[in-house]
Structure 1
C-alpha cells in the first residue's frame, strides 16, 4: 500500500462523495466552508472545563462542613466520575458516526445516531444506577480504605447523585451528535446552564437549607437534569424518529467496546501509579497528586483539538475527501505541538509560583520540583498525541487506538511504575513510565497517520 506523509499534500484525484443510504441529503452542506480548528476547539474546551470547574466550587462549599464530608465527596464523586470516564464513548463514538453521516450530507442520519446514542445512554445509565444502589456501601468502603465515617458519607452522597447517571450519559450522547454536525455552540449553552444552576443551588442547599453533604448531591442532580433536558429538546426539535433500533445500537457498541477497553486500561494504569507513589511516602503522594491533577486539567486543553479533529475528519471522510482529512491531520498536529510547547514553557517559568498554591510542605515541594520536569517535558508530545487520537477517532480507527493504548500501558507505563518501588526509583520512575506511555503512543499514531489505512477504517456507519 502506498504510504504518504500527513504533512505532504495528497495530490491524488478526489473521489466523488459516496451516495447517501439514509435520510435526506443536506443540499447546502457541500457549499459550506468547513470551520477552522480553533472555531471547534474553543467551544469544546468550554464544555470540557465546565465540569472540573464546578467540582472545584463544590469541593470548596463542602469543605466548609469539615473533613468527613469532604472525604465523602471525594469518595462518592470519584466513583461517579470513574463511571462517566469509562462510558465516555457515548460522546466520542457518537461524534465519529454522526460526523460521517453529516459529511455525506445526511443530517437526518446524523441526528438518528444521536437518538440511538440517547437510548443507549438511558439503558447504560439505568444499569449504573442499579449498580450504585446495590453496591454503594462496598464500593465507597473500598475506596475509603474500609468502613468509617468517610465511607458512610460517600455512600450517602453516591446514593443520591448516582441517580443522575442516565442524565449524565444522555448529555454525553447529546454532545456527541451535536459535535458530529459541527454544532458546538449549543452544547456550551446547555452545559453552562446546568453547571450554573448547580453552582447556585449547591451553597444554598448545603448551608442555609441545612441539607449538608446530601445538598451537594441534590444540586448536582438538578443541574444534570436541566442539561440533559436541553439536549433531548434539541433532538425533539430535529423531528427525529425516536424508535429504538437495536442494529444501530449494536453498531455504536462496536466503537464503544474498543473505547471502553482503552479507558479501562488508562484508569487502571493511573491507579497503579498512585499506589506506587503512596508507598513511596506521603510527600511523594502529595506531589504526585498535584502533578497528576495538573496533567489531567491540561489534557482538557489539548483534548479540545482532538474533538475538533474528530469532527472535521469525520465530515471529510463522510464526503469522500481524504485529502481534506489529511490536511486536518496536519493542522491539528501543528496546533497540538504549538500549544504543548507553550504549556511547557509556562509550566517551567511558573513552577515556583504554582507549586506553593497547592502546598506549603517543604518535602512535598521538593518532590513536586522533581516531577515538574517530567510534567513540562512531555507536554509537546502529549499535544500531538491527543490531536492525532482525535484524527483516528474521526476516521473510526478506534481498534488501532485501543491496541496502541493497551500496548503502551503494558510495555511502558505499568512496568516502569511497578519497578519504581523495588528499585527505589520513587516518583522519577513513575513519571518516567508516564513519559514512556506518551512517547510510545506518539510513535504509533504518527506511523498510522503517515499511511493510508486510517482513511479506509470501518466506521460502522451503515448499520
Structure 2
C-alpha cells in the first residue's frame, strides 16, 4: 500500500462515521428537544403583549382619554410590527438551515443580513409614519384631545420601531441557532424594565402618556442592543463580516416579502371577522372580542410548537436528513393535535364560567356560550395549522405559504359575508382554518418542500426554471 493511503482511508472512514453519527443523532428528534425549544418560546410570546398591558395599567391612572389614546396608538404600532414578523420567521429558517449544513459562518451571515434588513425597514417605517401620525390617527376617527394624545404616544413610540424590528430579527437568529431560552430572558428583563420606567416616568416624573412611550422605547432599545452584542460576538467568532451584503439582503427581502403577503392575508381575515362582528351589534362584538382573546392566548401555545418546528426543520433539512425532517414533522403535528384536544376540553369545561370571568352581561353571555363550542372544536385543527405553518417556514417554503394563505382567505370570504349571526361568522372562521389545514397538509404530505442542503424550495424552483 502506498505511503499515506491508509491514513487517507482511515480519515475517510472517520469522516463517514462522524457524518453517520451526526445524522443518527439528528434523526432522533425527541419530545424533549421539541419542549426545550417550545416552552421558552411560549414564555417569550406571552411576555410580548404584557408590554401594552403594563402600559395600560399605569396610563389608566391618568385623566381620560389617555387610556383610549394608548389603545388607539398601540393598535397602530402592533399592526406595523406584526406585519414585520417575517423578520423573525425568515431569519430563523435561514440560520437554522445553514447551521444544519455545518456552515456556522454562513449561518451568521444570514443572521447579519436579517439584522440589516430589520434596520432598513425600521428606519423607513419611522421616517414615513412620523409626519403621517395625525393622518393615521384620524383614520381611526380620533378627534380633539384623544387625537392629540394618540399622536404624541405614536410619535414617541416610532423612535423605537427600528429597535423593535431588530429584536424580531435577533430573536430569529437565536432561534435558528436552536436557542429559545435567551430570547425568553431578554423578553422578561425588558418587560420588567418597561414596567419600572413607565411607573417612574408617568407617575413619578409626571410626563404623562409621552413618558409611557419613552419608557417602552428605552426598554426596546436596550433589548435590541443585547441582541446586537450577542449576534456580533458570534459573527466575529466565526469570521463573518458585519457589513451589509447586497445579495444577502435581496435574498432575505425576497423571502420576507412572501411571508409579508402571508401575514397581510392572515391579518385581513382577522380584521374582516372583527369588522363584521362589529356590524352585528354591541353584544356580538363584545362576545367576539372575548372569544378572540381566548383564541389568541391559546394560539401562543400552538405557535410555540411552530417556532420549534421552524428551528428543527431548518436544521434537519440543512443537514440533508429527510428522515429526521419527516419524523419531526409527524411528532410535532401529534403535539399540535394533542394540545388542541386538551385546550378544546378545557374550554368546554370552563364554558359556564368564562362569561363571568369577563364580567359579560346576559346578552353577551348568550352569544358567547354558542361561540365557545366552536372555539373548542377548532382547537385540534389550529394545532395542525400552526405546526405545519412553522414546518414550512422552517423549510423556506414561503412562496407556497403566501399562495396558500391567499387561497384560504378567498375560501373564507363568501361564508363570512353571508353570515347572519356571530355563530355563523365563527363557522366561516372555521372554514378558513380548515382551508389552511387542507393546503398546508397537502403540501406537507408531499416532498417538494423537503429541499436539503443550503437551498430552499424557492431556490430549487428558480433553478429548474419554474
Same fold (TM over 0.5): yes
Question: What TM-score, normalized to structure 2?
Answer: 0.89
Match of 1:37 among 34, 38, 42: 34
Residue 165 of structure 2: aligned partner: 169
Match of 1:158 among 141, 154, 157: 154
CA shift, 1:127, in A, is 0.8
Contact 2:59 2:202 in 1 (8 A): yes
CA shift, 1:355, in A, is 2.2
Residue 417 of structure 2: aligned partner: 418
Contact 2:87 2:165 in 1 (8 A): yes
Match of 2:57 among 41, 46, 60: 60
Residue 11 of structure 2: aligned partner: none
Match of 1:195 among 177, 191, 198: 191
CA shift, 1:205, in A, is 1.5
**Helix, strand or coil at the partner of 1:453:** coil
CA shift, 1:99, in A, is 0.7
Please give the residue correspondences for 1:151-300 in structure 2 after superposition, counting only pairs within 5 Å. 151-238=147-234, 239=236, 240-300=240-300
**Helix, strand or coil at the partner of 1:454:** coil
Please give the residue correspondences for 1:297-316 in structure 2 after superposition, counting only pairs within 5 Å. 297-316=297-316
C-alpha distance in 2 between matches for 1:102 and 1:247: 20
C-alpha distance in 1 between matches for 2:170 and 2:437: 30
C-alpha distance in 2 between matches for 1:31 and 1:266: 38
Residue 117 of structure 2: aligned partner: 120
Question: Which structure would you say has the larger Rg?
Answer: 2
Match of 1:451 among 441, 446, 459: 446
1:430 aligned onto 2:429: no
Task: Provide, for residues 130-169 of structure 1, a one-character-per-residue CA deviation record: whole Å limited to 9, x for no partner.
Answer: 12211111111212x2423322221110000111010000
Please give the residue correspondences for 1:121-140 in structure 2 after superposition, counting only pairs within 5 Å. 121-140=118-137
My pick for the range that moved more, 225-234 or 397-406, is 397-406
C-alpha distance in 2 between matches for 1:85 and 1:186: 21
CA shift, 1:459, in A, is 5.5
Residue 9 of structure 2: aligned partner: none
Residue 80 of structure 2: aligned partner: 83
RMSD, aligned α-carbons: 2.2
Please give the residue correspondences for 1:369-384 in structure 2 after superposition, counting only pairs within 5 Å. 369-384=369-384
C-alpha distance in 2 between matches for 1:356 and 1:342: 22
1:142 aligned onto 2:139: yes
**Helix, strand or coil at the partner of 1:50:** helix
Task: Provide, for residues 326-367 of structure 1, a one-character-per-residue CA deviation record: whole Å limited to 9, x for no partner.
Answer: 001101001000001111111111122222222332211111
C-alpha distance in 1 between matches for 2:165 and 2:459: 21
C-alpha distance in 2 between matches for 1:163 and 1:170: 13
C-alpha distance in 1 between matches for 2:113 and 2:363: 52
CA shift, 1:293, in A, is 1.8
Residue 71 of structure 1: aligned partner: 68
Residue 402 of structure 2: aligned partner: 402
Residue 332 of structure 1: aligned partner: 332
Contact 2:23 2:321 in 1 (8 A): no
In structure 2, relative to structure 1, the CA distance for the partners of 1:355 and 1:460 (3 Å cut) is: farther
C-alpha distance in 2 between matches for 1:431 and 1:164: 36
**Helix, strand or coil at the partner of 2:207:** coil
In structure 2, relative to structure 1, the CA distance for the partners of 1:76 and 1:388 (3 Å cut) is: same
**Helix, strand or coil at the partner of 1:352:** coil
Unaligned runs of 5+ in 2: 1-18
CA shift, 1:66, in A, is 4.1
C-alpha distance in 2 between matches for 1:32 and 1:123: 39
Question: What TM-score, normalized to structure 1?
Answer: 0.90
Task: Provide, for residues 247-292 of structure 1, a one-character-per-residue CA deviation record: whole Å limited to 9, x for no partner.
Answer: 0011011111111011111222222211111111111111111111
**Helix, strand or coil at the partner of 1:78:** helix
CA shift, 1:62, in A, is 1.5
Contact 1:137 1:151 in 2 (8 A): yes
Residue 19 of structure 1: aligned partner: none
The alignment covers a number of residue pairs equal to 434
In structure 2, relative to structure 1, the CA distance for the partners of 1:77 and 1:460 (3 Å cut) is: farther
Task: Provide, for residues 390-448 of structure 1, a one-character-per-residue CA deviation record: whole Å limited to 9, x for no partner.
Answer: 11111111111111111111112x2222222xxxx221222111110001111111111
My pick for the range that moved more, 162-171 or 126-135, is 126-135
In structure 2, relative to structure 1, the CA distance for the partners of 1:32 and 1:170 (3 Å cut) is: farther
In structure 2, relative to structure 1, the CA distance for the partners of 1:66 and 1:350 (3 Å cut) is: farther
